[in-house]
Every structure is written in structure tokens, then in C-alpha cells.
Amino acid sequence: MKYDAIIIGSGPNGLAAGIRLAQEGLSVKILEKENTIGGGTRTLELTQPGFYHDVCSAIHPLAKASPFLKSLPLEDYGLEWIQPEVPVAHPLDDEPAGVLFRSFDKTVSYIQKDEDKSNYAHSIAPFLNKWDGLLSDLLGPFSLLPNHPLLMARFGLQALQSANRFAKRFKSTQTRALFAGLAAHGIMPFDATATAAIGLVLGISGHTVGWPYPKGGSHAITKAMVKHFESLGGDIETGTEVTSVDDLPESQVILFNNTPQQILDIADSKIPQSYAKKLQGYEYGQGVFKLDFALSDPIPWNDELCRKAGTVHVGGTLEEIAASEEQSANGQHPEKPYVLVAQQSLYDDSRAPDGQHTGWAYCHVPNGSTEDMTEPIIRQIERFAPGFRDCIIAKHAMHAQDMQTYNPNYIGGDINGGRADITQLFTRPTGLFDPYHIPKTNMYIASSSTPPGGGVHGMCGYHAAESVLRRI
């Protein structure tokens, strides 16, 4: 059978591309190497039976906010969002935690210093009522003519700053640390240009859509997407590894939910040499070390608000987190890493047996690392939650190379599809002009190696599909 489009990879971006093309009546087939769909959104019993852990992504503000995903009837196919009582908390040693509440006013009231209240309001408030429109610009390819130019300019004046410079507008340890925890999601040194951007996006999202997660695990997102894709006539084949485009069924176009290194392996002879050289120069970022815990009890944080948070950023002060991110970027393994912790079972009792809990945690490491960071992560959590070690029933670890084995898109453990510095942030993978189309071919890139980059939002796949539709 001849298809209009073949898509390699069934992660959120591959599925988003498939859905968008199927919406226009095109015949689409998605091929998936693994026996289950999902890419970075699979949920498995990694530690013990009855404990369901998200293998990679866990908390999904950008999935909830995504202009394309929220246009789809995913709730009709079983997707149920859970909003934790506290979206994000950031424990400190000798003072109350930094906290981002759903309520902007409550967050401002909680901030200790009056000057910080004013600075936080000035940084965040102008975008809250216009966030949906602005986010459609932010989650798209770079454009000299955005839909909201004045708002984008105002946002850019802050977002293009380094995380260090932006955070230091705040005077309290508490507020500086809160922003540092948000900005560190970018997996970049804090002195780099535009590292404030992800902190702002995640902070504003916390007040507009929250930091929710799907009931039952992140796999619920892509399960719902698959059902909708199939309702539109789409076809999915699992357990099928693609090693060459010559082995694919006949089609008008091919879309890769893969990174440049993989695309070169699969289609090198079909890619113009000048473009292939650009793909060869594409740079990957740091890796991650991931731990999952089966727990007898909730994590016993010293700070009460941390016990109510869906996400806890562990790492101490701005200075400590900046040092940790600098070390991992320079090929070192921090003794006191910045650790992202998720506590899904606090509000989702389907994740663990009655009375027991799951814990999800990862830290940043050099690309390709095989270092075991289990003890540094546990020590950091124990620092702010004495007795945590005694709650551990079982644990499951994945170093950066394990992450690549699990998902070949995670080159060297890079979960963002490529380094997100100022160069590759706007030009990924090779330039500004239609970053989704491989020139002089019928092939397209639909992965997080294209704008807007990493995250479960499906927008890379959506924009790749739009590029296809403009041509066929």
C-alpha cells in the first residue's frame, strides 16, 4: 500500500505530526521500534509490582499548555489531568522553601521581601492574561514577524538574559533559589545567554495551566493521542526498527521523529551533502541520571509545603545550583547535584499499592556518562528530608547511556534532542529557513531537534506536519 506519509517514531511529536496530517485526510503510517508506543512518555513497573514509574517525562505543564495538544479531544480517550495542591516547591536549609502556587497572588504574598514581591510581579504579571497567544509564538519556529511582536519583545528583554543575571534581581535566598530551580530545567550553565527563558516559561505556565501530570502515568498522554490518531484513519505498526529509508513502504513524504545523528544513519545517501555536513555538526547537550523509588511512605520533607508539592527542586541556593550546572556542563559529576523530584503518588493512588508511594528523580551529568549518581541524589534528598533513606523499599537507576539504550533519541542521555544554547535554541537543527524540511528531498524532521525543542508538547511534530502540508 502507498501512503501519503510515513513517520518514524511514536513519541508525542511523531503522533502530533500524524494527527495533523490525518486531520487533512492524508493516509499516514507510524512505525515504532519498540513494542509499545510513547517515546519519552512510557510508564512501567520499574522497581516492584504495583509501583508505576514514568521512565522519562513526568510532569507536564507544556503538554497542558500546548496550542496543538489542547485542541485535541484527548480527554475523550481517557486522559485525566491531576493538579497537585502545590505545583513546585524548593526546600532550603535554614528558611522556608521557595514555592510557586497556582495562584499568582498567593505566590506573591508568600514571597518574603517586599522588593522581591514587586520584582516577581513585574516579571510575570504582564504575560498571564496573554499567555496563550504568546506561547503560540514561543512554541514555534523563530520568526521576524511573530503574531504578538510587542509582547514578544517585552518577554525577550527578560528571556535573553542569563539565568544568573535574571535571578539576581531578587534579593532573598528564597526567591533566587525558586527561579534557579525553574531555570535549571534548561540543562545549561547559568551564565549562558537566554538561560532565563525556560525559567520564565515554566514559571508563567505554573500560574496559567499549573504543573499537572496524567492519572496513571505519562503514558496516558500518548495512549490518548494514539486512539485519536486511529479514529482519524491513521495506522501504527510497533516492533519495527527502521535502519534505512530504502526499507520503508512507498509514500509521498517521510517524517523523522529522530535526531540528526540517527537521520544520517537511516538516510545519509538520500540527503544533500551540504545539508548532511550541517547535521554532522549538530551538538548534543548534557545527559541525565535517573532514579525511581518504591517508597513505604511519602518523602518526609522538613518543609510542610514540600510534602504537598507535585514537583520539588532539590539543590539549595542559586549559587549551589549554578555551580552544579557548571560542573556537569564541564564534564564533571557534582557531589551536590541539582535534583528534580516528582511525587505523583501523593495525588494519584493508582501509582503505588495502598499506603505506599513512588518517587521520581534525576540529575544532570556529562553527555554519555556511566557514573552512578545514586548516592549523591539520595544524599541531596535526605539533606532536606531526613529519614528518606529509611523509606526506600526498592530503587531503579538509569545512567546517561542507559537512557540512550531506552530511547535512541536520547543521544548520550540528552533528553532535549540537542543542546539548547542561544545558537541551537533558534536554529535547530541547521538554520532559520523551514527547519523541518530536508532540502531537495521528500523528507522532514519532526523531533525535538527542531523548534521549539524538548518537552512533551507535540509542537515540533505539528510544525513539521504544517511544513508538509504547505508542499503537498
Task: Using the 3D structure, point to which of 406, 429, 453 is the last residue of a domain.
Answer: 406
Q: Do residue 402 and residue 453 come from a single domain?
A: no
Rg (CA), the chain: 21
pLDDT band at 336 (very low <50, low <70, confident <90, very high): very high
Backbone angles phi, psi at 262, to 5 degrees: -70, -40
Q: Do residue 262 and residue 302 come from a single domain?
A: no
CATH number of the domain within which 21 lies:
3.50.50.60
Q: Do residue 101 and residue 191 come from a single domain?
A: yes
Stretch 143-165: mean pLDDT: 93
Split into its structural domains, the chain has a count of: 2
Exposure pattern of 412-437 as b/e (b: 16+ CB <10 Å)? bbbbbbbbbbeebbbbbbbeeebbbb
Q: Do residue 291 and residue 277 come from a single domain?
A: no
20 within a domain of the structure (yes/no): yes
Q: Do residue 157 and residue 242 come from a single domain?
A: no
Backbone angles phi, psi at 202, to 5 degrees: -70, -35
Rounded CA separation 175/240 (Å): 48
Rounded CA separation 207/268 (Å): 45
Rounded CA separation 370/6 (Å): 35
For residue range 378-394, what is the model confidence (pLDDT) as tens digits? 999 999 999 999 999 99
Q: Do residue 263 and residue 295 come from a single domain?
A: no
- How far out from the chain centre does Cα 113 lie? 31
Q: Do residue 300 and residue 442 come from a single domain?
A: no
Q: Lowest-pLDDT range, 17-21, 137-141, 314-318?
A: 137-141
Backbone angles phi, psi at 240, to 5 degrees: -125, 105
**Whole-number pLDDT of residue 252:** 97
As given in the structure block, the three cell numbers for residue 306 are 514540600
Backbone angles phi, psi at 350, to 5 degrees: -80, -10
For residue range 91-129, what is the model confidence (pLDDT) as tens digits? 999 999 999 999 999 999 999 999 999 999 999 999 999
Rounded CA separation 153/133 (Å): 14
Rounded CA separation 129/309 (Å): 25
Is the pLDDT at 424 greater than 90, yes or no? no
Q: Which residues contact 330 (CB under 8 A, 6 or more apart)?
A: none
Q: Which domain holds residue 73?
A: 3-48+57-79+214-282+417-471
